[in-house]
Amino acid sequence: FGFIIIASYTANLAAFLTVSRLETPVESLEDLAKQYKIQYAPQNGSASALYFERMAYIEERFYEIWKDMSLNDSLSELERSKLAVWDYPVSDKYTKIWQSMKEADLPATFDEALKRVRNSASSSEGFAFLGDATDIRYQEYTNCDLQMVGDEFSRKPYALAVQQGSPLKDQFNDAILKLLNQRKLETLKERWWNQNPEKKVCEEDDNDGGGISIHNIGGVFIVIFVGIGLAIITLGIEYWYYKYKAPQSRVGSADPNKKMVSEMEKQVRDKNGFGKTDFAGEYMNNDGEIAPVGNPW
């Protein structure tokens, strides 16, 4: 029983781990665009949503320009042949991404986006939020149930917009340079990131190795112990049955023969007295004149 359970359990476990390794984890925006189990979208009206919308618009505009050029009759055959390609001259990656985002329904607020991420069934299916790297990294610092995946893309520095020709531009530049030289910006970064009281110390995930741990094979020991318990119970029932029930059945089966022997003994006792044979009875009646003979019974 134990060998059969261990063999079947390890075979199913190996098949499960093999299939789980075949699933490629999402580690970049390209991986997110190639799969279909995870929905993804930025916050509606945010800078991230505007970025993807503009990239999709640029791809569409380049395609329209290429189509107009390739169908222009004023071009010579040689020039038109140079435009004849198997695929678009510009990739439609962002067009497909933006279409998937609109189908996934862009969240209206940041809290709604976090709620949809937390309500995901697992890390391989559900919803992924695309947003500003600073906001997402801060949520990862202060929450252990959120994870930042992939590298930053379309990285741009923060800026303060003022009216063109405004004297505030030079004042802001001087103030920012002064904070930078006095290391005030590094102090603020250390305060709000490394020394933040809301920062969570999360346990590291050890499942990246892909090996078999005691948590994977713990079920087989439970099944074996249950089987051993059932075997002990069955053994106790058999022992009790053969000890108290089986001897009574064997004595009952021998009763007919025993009854026949008892009837024969009764007849001998009635004939010779006290259960003795003819020879013993004759010896006793003749007062010792006949030599004693052994009882053949």
Tell me the C-alpha distance between 108 and 220, whole Å.
Answer: 48
Rounded to an integer, the average pLDDT of 213-219 is 66
Supply the pTM of this predicted model.
0.58
Residue 214 pLDDT more than 70? no
As given in the structure block, the two tokens for residue 241 are: 């049955």
φ/ψ region of 66 (left if φ > 0, alpha if ψ in -120 to 50, else beta) reads: alpha
Tell me the C-alpha distance between 101 and 216, whole Å.
Answer: 37
Residue 117 pLDDT more than 70? yes
pLDDT range class, residue 275, cuts 50, 70, 90: very low
